[in-house]
Structure 1
């Protein structure tokens, strides 16, 4: 997965969490978003990118 794909999937997971019908679904989507965030941070570090991610 490239960085753009990870960023897209992270954003989708955040949007799904925000509109989740149940607390369990929200928690699941939040967890998915955190996993993508960790992958994004790792990839950015590997690529030498500076700055940090801003999350909701």
Structure 2
């Protein structure tokens, strides 16, 4: 999975969390987004990119 795919999946998880019908669904999608954040930071580190992801 490349960085663009990870960024896309992260954004989709955030959008799903924002529109979730239940707290359980929101928490699940938030958890998925956090997992992608970790993977994104790892890939960025490997590529030598600077900066961390910042929640809006």
TM-score scaled by length of structure 1:
0.96
Instruction: Name the CA distance, whole Å, in 1 between partners of 2:40 and 2:20.
Output: 23
Instruction: Name the CA distance, whole Å, in 2 between partners of 1:21 and 1:2.
Output: 30
Aligned-residue CA RMSD (Å): 0.7
1:20 is aligned to 2:20 = yes
1:10 Cα deviation from its structure 2 partner: 0.1
Unmatched 5+ residue regions in structure 2? none
1:31 Cα deviation from its structure 2 partner: 0.2
Q: Which residue matches 1:39? A: 39
Q: Which residue matches 1:5? A: 5
* Equivalent pairs, count: 56
Unmatched 5+ residue regions in structure 1? none
